Amino acid sequence: MSMARAAEPAGIAAGINQIEGYLLLQTERDAARERARRLTARLDWLTSAQRAEVERLYLQDQLAVTEQTLRKVVRRCEELRAEYQEVYRTLSRRLLLVCLLGAAALAGGFAAALTVR
């Protein structure tokens, strides 16, 4: 998710994601149709009905493969998001600890400097 997308309300971001998904699917559907047409164009012995059936089956198969692939990508993105969130939490805790230790060291140094005088 981009920085601009992260600042949007969840409903708007979800709507944009749905639109992007729809457009991606339509683009893939058009590309699969074109691939099916190119395939059947090479099979000049097919009747019109056979050609239409081969194109329909090819399109159906290609869309199933696309759906599988997209589900795998989404699953991996979710895994990466969880991993990165855990790394971020760990780094945030470490930074907070370093800041607290640094502040304690400074306070101790000031206290020591004041007692020496």
Convert the pLDDT of each residue in 52-111 to its tens digit. Answer: 999 999 999 999 999 999 899 999 999 999 999 999 999 999 999 999 999 999 998 888
Residues with Cβ within 8 Å of 66's Cβ and at least 6 positions away in sequence, in order, are 25, 28, 32
Which pLDDT score is estimated for 46? 94
> What's the pLDDT band for 39 if we cut at 50, 70, 90?
very high
Average pLDDT of the segment spanning 44-59? 96
Average pLDDT of the segment spanning 38-53? 95
Which pLDDT score is estimated for 83? 97
Q: Is the pLDDT of residue 7 over 70?
A: no
CA 73, 77, 78, 79 torsion-angle sign: positive
At position 9, the amino acid (one-letter code) is: P
CA distance 21 to 7: 20
CB 73 within 8 A of CB 96: no
> What's the pLDDT band for 13 if we cut at 50, 70, 90?
confident
pTM as predicted: 0.64
